[in-house]
Homo-oligomer: A and B are copies of this chain.
Amino acid sequence: MFDSIVTHIRKHAGLTDAEADILTSLLTVRDVKKKEHLLEAGKVCTEYYFVAEGCFRMYLVTAKGAEQVIQFGIEDWWINDYASYKTGLPSGYCIQAVEKAKVIVLDKKNEEEMFTRLPQMERYFRRVAEKAYSAQLNRIHYIFNLSGEEQYHLMNSRHPQFVQRVPQYMLASFLGITPEFLSKLRAKK
């Protein structure tokens, strides 16, 4: 049940079987239905999610009522609104399952106990955050310097399964283009 997360952690930090048992005693597994929300805007984010199966989108609703996708999270990726999780202030984001999914949940109440009993998790979460930070910097780079078409081709070459997996209107929102234009790009290919 916790195999995927233990494997992922061991890529970045040491974790004996006994330590893995301590860790998993502090985590829970949750099945998530397609379109179910893990977080809704206006609520405080009190959990951190490791995607064991499935795909999530983090989005916000703009002043004009449109849903703008900020990021996706697939297997072996952590997702939450860190600012809300950290400050206890309401989140401006929603996190929703794109497909039937399974997450491993770290509740904020268990976070300090985890870091106290398993200090190597500091290293693991440092690397998770550094990688996520770096990915967002690249994204900003792409938003400013690549057209929607170029971003689509880049994404399609690097993550072809992902492009197939996500509904077209969500991918278009993530890329900042219209679904119609994305449809044309797909047809061209």
Chain A interfacial positions (CB closer than 8 Å to B): 60, 62-63, 68, 70-71, 82-83, 86, 92, 115, 119, 122-123, 125-126, 129-130, 132-134, 136-141, 143-145, 176
Contact = CB atoms under 8 A, between A and B. Distances in A.
Contacts of A140: 70-71, 136, 139-140, 143
- Tell me whether chain A's interface is mostly helix, strand or loop, or mixed: helix
Contacts of A82: 130, 133-134, 137
Interface pairs A-B: 4 shortest CB-CB: A129-B129, A136-B136, A122-B122, A126-B126
Nearest to A64: B145
Copies per complex?
2
Contacts of A129: 126, 129-130, 132-133
A185 to B, nearest CB: 19
B145 A63 contact: yes
Given A82-B130, A125-B126, A144-B176, 8 more contacts: A60-B141, A63-B145, A70-B144, A82-B134, A92-B141, A122-B126, A129-B132, A143-B143
Contacts of A176: 144
Given A71-B137, A140-B140, A123 B130 contact: no
Contacts of A70: 137, 140-141, 144
B60 A130 contact: no
A130 B115 CA distance: 15
B145 A62 contact: yes
